[in-house]
Amino acid sequence: MKISIVGAGYVGLVAAACLARLGNKITLVDIDKERLKQVSQGVSPIHEPELAEILGQVDIETTSDYQRLVDSEVIFICVGTPSNDNGSMSLEHIVEASRRISEVLKVKRDYCVIAVKSTVVPGTTENAVIPILEASGKKAGDDFGVCMDPEFLREGKAVYYYMNPARIIIGELDPRSGHTLANLYKDFKAPVMRTSIKTAEMIKLASNSFLAAKISLINEIGNICKALDIDIYEVAKGLGYDERIGSKFLNSGIGFGGSCLPKDLKALIARSRQVGYKPKILEHVLKLNDKQALRMVELLRRHISLKGATIGILGLAFKPGTDDVRESRAISIAEVLLKEGAIVKAYDPVATQSFATLFPEIEYTTPEEVLKCDAVLIVTEWEEFEHLDYRGKIVIDGRRILKAKEARIYEGVCW
Ligand code: UGA
């Protein structure tokens, strides 16, 4: 199929690469010309396993000119929906993309489906996107189709999860729109659920809220376990045998970061409040998550006075396998350490550059140098941290690195 993808962020890039590999003709649109240049040279602008390899093999047309979308059969909107200050989602990029696509629709002769892949709050596609598209003079459902097709990939294994989704959710304006997308995904081995547009929007937000709640719940139980001297990881193992609970996403520690879980939770809370419902559980999930990272610093204070001490941070990415530091737990931890007068040294295998733009005052160095600090905090569970020498050190572990237990003083955040 002839497919256009608007937005060369995580979702857009991965979708473009995977759909191209499946034999579709892809046009990738973005305003960031540097990013597009990298893609056209077969270079991945982000650190994501398998992505660079695929980009090196496939042929993707890259452009900043929306008129190149004119012969598309499907146009995916994959632009970012960052948080506003009040937690609601900013629709700035969605609105702009819709407006530009609307210009294309004006001159487009054949039917095509516009599919929103960006995460949006329920009602956005119908109340914001469709009216802008219809400003073209064309009618949604007659002249063009509309779907909401949420993406569930996970960073660090994005290609794998794109190609092997747990489910494909197609929110459709009408059967013809849904049928076009279902046809595109016909070779994926995953259950396909066709539903209304706003239900699809809600499934995405509910999914991330549920995952966030699962993490905060296991962290809360972990905090209680630590006080009672019980191993939370053994407790989680016992819980996981129950199929209703499941064994995944029960790793307690310093909580969730990233560009999705915190943002989507905030957006659902804000939307819920707008419609007059105060979502107390979701609000608590977020509050507990914010506090959880700082528990590391509280534990550290029991062993060392922060002022003037050198404190090492191992891991800056919000999780292993990525160079993404958005909402990384390392951010709030570094802020407190620096504010309290500590000298901070840090190491991450891939995320140092992004972190250095936020914290130029930190010294970025090797893991060995970090381990020479007065105390060390483990913030991301990179596999290589299982091979360091922690003997004689003070280590506060936020992510359960078993080897670190050999330290002279070792404290897990929930264990
Ligand atoms: C998340 C969802 O898992 C995806 O399903 C979703 O598609 C994606 O957001 C999105 O909306 O685009 P992602 O942000 O890539 O994916 O990362 P996760 O693997 O979910 O991890 C999020 C955070 O939770 C990380 O900071 C991780 O360290 C933390 N986490 C995860 C835990 O603290 N404990 C766990 O057991 C699992």
Residue 260 annotated as catalytic: yes
Half-sphere exposure (Cβ direction) of 390: Cα atoms closer than 13 Å: 25
CA of 131 to the centre of ligand 1 (A): 33
DSSP state of 82: P
Q: Output the pLDDT for position 229.
A: 97
Distances (CA, A) of 401 to 218, 274, 347, 385: 17, 42, 15, 7
Q: Which two tokens stand for residue 203?
A: 């499934």
CA 66 to each of CA 17, 289, 381: distance values in angstroms, whole numbers, following the listed order: 19, 40, 41
Which residue, by CA, sits nearest to atom 11 of ligand 1?
A: 260
Ligand 1: atom nearest CA of 152 is 7
Residue nearest to atom 10 of ligand 1 (CA): 260
Q: What confidence score (pLDDT) does residue 103 get?
A: 97
DSSP 125: I
pLDDT value of position 350: 96
Pocket lined around ligand 1, Cβ cut-off 6 Å: 119, 151-155, 208, 211, 215, 249-251, 253, 255-258, 260-261, 318-319
Three-state SS at 108: coil
Q: What is the pLDDT of residue 228?
A: 98
Annotated catalytic residue, options 112, 260, 373, 414: 260
Q: Considering only CA atoms, which residue is closest to atom 3 of ligand 1?
A: 154
The DSSP code for 297 is: H
Instruction: Tell me the per-residue pLDDT of 266-280, one tens digit each, with 9 for 90 and over.
Output: 999 999 999 999 999
Measured CA to CA, the distance from residue 108 to residue 103 in angstroms comes to 9
> What are 395-402's contacts with CB under 8 Å, separation 24+?
396/296, 396/299, 396/300, 396/303, 398/253, 398/254, 398/293, 398/296, 398/329, 399/251, 399/253, 399/254, 399/315, 400/233, 400/251, 400/252, 400/253
The model's pLDDT over 298-328, given as tens digits with 9 standing for 90+, comes to 999 999 999 999 999 999 999 999 999 999 9
pLDDT beneath 70: ranges in the chain: none
Mean pLDDT of the chain: 97
Residue 172: burial class (beta carbons within 10 Å; 0-12, 13-18, 19+):
buried
Q: Please give the span between the terminal C-alpha atoms of the chain, in angstroms, as a whole number.
A: 52
- Per-residue model confidence (pLDDT) at position 18: 97
Q: Which residues contact 276 (CB under 8 A, 6 or more apart)?
A: none
**129: DSSP letter:** I
Where residue 7 falls (left for φ over 0; alpha for ψ -120 to 50; beta otherwise) is left
Residue whose CB lies within 8 A of the most ligand 1 atoms, among 163, 218, 223, 256, for a mutation test:
256
* The model's pTM: 0.95
97's tokens: 């993309």
